[in-house]
Amino acid sequence: MKPSIYENSRDVFLDTVNVKDYIQLEKISMIYQALRDSIEKPLKMVLLYGKPGTGKSMFLSKLHEDVASAQKAYLYKTPILDESEFFKTIAQDLYGIKYDSELNFTQFMKVVENRELIEAIVPIIMLDEAQLYTTAMMEKIRLLSDTRKVKFVIALHKTEKEDIIAKEHFQTRIWESIKLENASPVELKIYIQKKLMKVNCVDTASMFVPKSINLIHKLTDGNYRDTNKLVYTLFDIYHYYAQNNPKEIRGNEISKKIIEMAAIHTGLINA
Amino acid sequence: MLNVNELENKHKKYKLKSYTPYFAIFLGVSAAILSISFFLLYDFNSKKETKKELIAQKTQEYNGDRKADIAIENKNEAIEQEASKVIVPKEKEETPVTQEREEKVQLSPSLNFIKRIESEVPLYKKEDSVKAAAIIEKKVERPIEKSSEPIKKENKKEEVSLPIVEEVKESIALVQKPIVEEPATNTSTIDIKRRDVEEDIKHVIKRFNVNHNPALSLFVAKKYYQLENYEQAYNYALATNELNNNIEASWIIFSKSLVKLGKKEMAIETLKRYINHSDSSQARQLLDEILSGKFK
Ligand SMILES: Nc1ncnc2c1ncn2[C@@H]1O[C@H](COP(=O)(O)OP(=O)(O)OP(=O)(O)O)[C@@H](O)[C@H]1O
Ligand SMILES: [Mg+2]
């Protein structure tokens, strides 16, 4: 059976980080340009931070994809927590050196310092979920970037706790820090509609009138992850009604009731 | 998976619940209006007699009183009695009432009272409806507090004023509560410097449960492995593999945990299968170590 338009619309909002789903948003593309610019400058580190679900991982993946064709760039989506393993991985990626035994920081620093840059472009290492690295590890990463033989772009999910780490370790030293924020209602509308247009769901895209967007924004505060979950459930409910009770979804705007039902299901409304 | 019927019911309840504050406010306001008109009537009535007479009467009525709260209760009854007295003649002869109306000075404090209630009502909107209703009721009692003042003075009993003062305080406390509470919850950070591993894990697990990010479960698996809690390390590595079966580090932790849990054969089996589809040198190395007994 062919999947219905509601199923197609629903699956767009699965919460996954996949570069091909990246949506160019105006504000984001501005930051994105700033980030690209700063990568080209002789910087040490770039810090990308923001609350959970503001699109840091998505952003980093996009950046990685764009940059990797022109220069050495490596994205570590998962933090490598074992110190030796971390340095061994970098040594392997940057210089193609394979270490069978342990590799500690001092040893690795020597390797980096003695390394002549082959091309003028400094390789980039991107670390997602960097708040999971220990304070000591962060300090070593900073020292590595001080050699100017490798650049780090670091994505940090920010809680109050991480805020302190961010302050202690980056505020005075970081070359550039960029904050990602939740979407404004206008951006949220673009986000939802562009996502749907990408899979040719024009009909469902046009159902998101300003009123529906405002309600969704009120419920999710413009957080991309929460919005994904909400809209996913919303279309799940539409799909159900389409099969079982079509009169519930007769209007050509997104039903307020169904938005609220989806919000109850995803826990955005306490009922 | 998605139970739409149940969701519809929940939605109905939610809608009902979202109307209750308005309902409570409506109830409260109508109660307030009722009691104000009641208070006014009472006032007019008392104006008929001279103030001195009123006080004298009251002191007579309550002179022998032992306890203050009883006095107030009695007074409530007295007021009701007096009120019912008033209502009956009011319908018959309208003239005296309109005559009293001309004395506006007498009315002004009561109007302030209405204003106060109105300006306070929006505060309760978010509050539990029962609480809101309770506060409004408390306010409604105020006319009685005021009217009891002359008695207080006459009786010169300190105790009389106590319950009233307490009541006022209580209603103030209730009003202030939401304001006081918020800053209290926001204060307790800043002193965290080093991250305690256990707390770290708990925090990450909480986030993992929300966003199912394999990076987080892998982190948890690794941490548990370090803490030698191999069972949990196994669980979280398994969860990671289910979300993304291409993370080398996760397969390594998974296999290592299996060995530590005494399931060496299963670890070997797992690694072999993983090597087949990934060609991971790390996995191969671990397999060698397990087979040679170097890793156990
Ligand atoms: N520009 C974008 N284009 C398309 N989808 C996006 C974009 N930004 C965010 N998203 C969506 O929002 C979801 C959350 O984004 P992401 O996972 O990048 O957040 P995060 O900031 O990394 O959160 P966390 O701190 O929890 O890791 C993603 O699943 C993705 O689908
Ligand atoms: Mg992320």
Residue B161 and residue B222 share a domain = yes
Amino acid at B77: E
Q: Which of B14, B250, B285 lies nearest to residue A269, judging by beta carbons?
A: B14
Tell me, what's the ipTM?
Answer: 0.77
Residue B116 inside a domain? The answer is no
The answer as to whether B61 is a domain residue is yes
Confirm or reject: Cβ of A15 under 6 Å from ligand 1. Answer: yes
- Which residues have CB under 8 Å from B249's CB, separation 6+? A78, A80, A85, B218, B222
Higher-confidence position of A203 and B193: A203
E-only strand ranges, B88-213: none
Contact assignment for B13 to A271 by CB distance below 8 Å: yes
Cβ(A14)–Cβ(A120) below 8 Å: no
A260 contacts in chain B (CB < 8 Å): 11, 14
The answer to whether residues B44 and B177 belong to one domain is no
- The label of the residue with tokens 């589809």 reads B277
- Quick check: B129 pLDDT over 90? no
pLDDT exceeds cutoff 90 at B186: no
**Three-state DSSP class for residue A96:** coil
Residues B39 and B133 in one domain: no
pLDDT at residue number B173: 40
Say whether B2 and A236 touch across the interface (CB within 8 A).
yes
Specify the pLDDT at position A122. 82
pLDDT band at B119 (very low <50, low <70, confident <90, very high): very low
* Euclidean distance between CA atoms B96 and B25, whole angstroms: 34
With a 6 Å cutoff on the Cβ, whether A52 touches ligand 1 is yes
Q: Average of pLDDT values for B174-187?
A: 38
Contacts of B78 (CB under 8 A, 6+ apart): B61
Q: Do the chains contact at B7 and A244, CB–CB below 8 Å?
A: no
How far apart (Å, rounded) are the C-alpha atoms in residues B190 and B125?
33
What would the pLDDT profile of A215-271 be if each residue is shown by its tens digit?
999 999 999 999 999 999 999 999 999 999 999 998 889 999 999 999 999 999 987
Of B7, B8, B207, which is closest to A52 when you measure between CB atoms? B207
Same domain, residue pair B63 and B128: no
| Confidence check: pLDDT of B136 > 50 | no
CATH of the domain at B158: 1.25.40.10
Last residue of a domain, one of B67, B85, B103: B85
Please write the tens of the pLDDT for every residue from A174-188: 567 778 889 999 999
**What does the alpha-carbon distance between residue B10 and residue B6 come to, in Å, rounded to a whole number?**
6
* Contact call for B211 and A160, based on CB within 8 A: no
Cβ contacts below 8 Å, chain A against chain B, sum to 76
A224 lines ligand 1 (CB under 6 A): yes
Same domain, B135 and B69: no
| A91 — pLDDT class (breaks 50, 70, 90) | very high
Q: What is the pLDDT of residue B206?
A: 86
Based on the fold, state whether residues B147 and B74 are members of the same structural domain: no
Q: How confident is the model at residue B281, as a pLDDT?
A: 86
Domain-embedded: residue B92: no
The least confident of A31-45, B66-80, B242-256 is: B66-80
A265 touches chain B (CB under 8 A): yes
Q: Residues 130-169, chain A: which have Cβ within 8 Å of B? A: 132, 134-135, 157, 159-161, 164
Of B85, B97, B93, B80, give the one whose Cα is nearest residue B39: B80
> What pLDDT does A28 receive?
66
Which residues 56-95 in chain A show a CB within 8 A of chain B?
Answer: 57, 77-82, 85
Distances (CA, A) of A216 to B193, B210, B247: 37, 19, 35
Decide: B11 and A271 in contact? Cβ < 8 Å.
yes
Domain boundary among B85, B102, B132: B85
Instruction: Check residue A2 and report its DSSP letter.
Output: P
What the block records as the tokens of A7 is 């199923």
pLDDT at B194: 37
How much is the pLDDT for A116? Answer: 77
Distance between CA A158 and CA A172 in Å, rounded?
18
B229 and B156 part of one domain: yes
Segment B259-280 shows an average pLDDT of 88
Is residue B55 assigned to a domain? Answer: yes
Q: Are residues B178 and B71 in the same domain?
A: no
Write the single-letter amino acid at B20.
Answer: T
Greatest mean pLDDT among A158-167, B58-67, B207-216: B207-216
Query: Nearest-5° angle of CA B88, CA B93, CA B96?
Result: 105
Query: For residue B70, what are the domain limits?
Result: 1-85
| Cβ neighbour number for residue B256 with a 10 Å cutoff | 22
Q: For residue A52, what pLDDT is reported?
A: 87
Is residue B170, in this structure, part of any structural domain at all? yes
pLDDT band for B89, please (50, 70, 90 cuts).
very low
Query: B246 and B133, same structural domain?
Result: yes
**pLDDT for position A213:** 97
DSSP readout, A144-197? HHHTTSSEEEEEEE--HHHHHHHIIIIITT-SEEEE--PPPHHHHHHHHHHHHH
pLDDT at B90: 40
What rounded mean pLDDT belongs to chain B? 65
Residue B145 has pLDDT above 70, yes or no: no
Query: Is the minimum CB–CB distance between B272 and chain A shorter than 8 Å?
Result: no
A33 touches chain B (CB under 8 A): no
Q: Is A26 in the pocket of ligand 1 (CB under 6 A)?
A: no
Q: Which of B195, B218, B285 comes nearest A78 by C-beta?
A: B218
Provide the terminal-to-terminal Cα distance of chain A, rounded to the nearest Å: 36
* Within a domain: B91: no
Task: Determine contact: A199 vs chain B, CB below 8 A.
Answer: no
Task: Collect all residues of chain A within an 8 Å Cβ-Cβ radius of residue B215.
Answer: 77-79, 128-129, 132
A102's torsion region: left (phi>0), alpha (psi -120 to 50) or beta? beta
- Asked if the model's pLDDT at residue B188 lies above 60, the reply is no
Rounded Cα–Cα distance for residues A204 and B207 (Å): 31
B10: closest CA of chain A, how far (Å)? 6
B146-160, B201-215, B227-241 — most confident range: B227-241
Q: Which residues of B touch A15 (CB under 8 A)?
A: 211-212
C-alpha–C-alpha distance, residues B6 and A265, integer Å: 10
Is residue B131's pLDDT more than 80? no
A144 C-beta closer than 6 A to ligand 1: no
User: How many domains, chain B?
Assistant: 2
Specify whether B2 is located in the same domain as B134: no
Q: Quick one: B131 and B236 in the same domain? A: yes
Q: What angle do CA B235, B239, B243 make, to 5 degrees?
A: 170
Probe target for ligand 1 pocket from A225, A227, A230, A231, with the most ligand atoms within 8 Å of CB: A225
| Probe target for ligand 1 pocket from A54, A58, A60, A229, with the most ligand atoms within 8 Å of CB | A58
Q: Is residue B152 part of a domain?
A: yes
Q: What is the pLDDT of residues A35-84, one digit of tens each?
A: 677 666 665 678 888 888 999 999 899 889 888 888 889 999 888 888 89
Question: What DSSP designation does A249 have?
Answer: G
- One domain for residues B59 and B157: no
Q: Is residue B126 part of a domain?
A: yes
B4-51 per-position pLDDT tens digit:
999 999 999 999 988 888 888 888 888 888 888 877 777 656 555 445
- For residue B38, the model assigns a pLDDT of 78
Q: Which amino acid is at A41?
A: K
Distance B213 CA to ligand 2 centre (A): 8
Tens of pLDDT, residue by residue over A92-141, are 999 999 988 899 999 999 988 888 776 667 888 999 988 888 878 888 89
Q: What is the pLDDT of residue B246?
A: 84
Res B71 pLDDT > 80? no
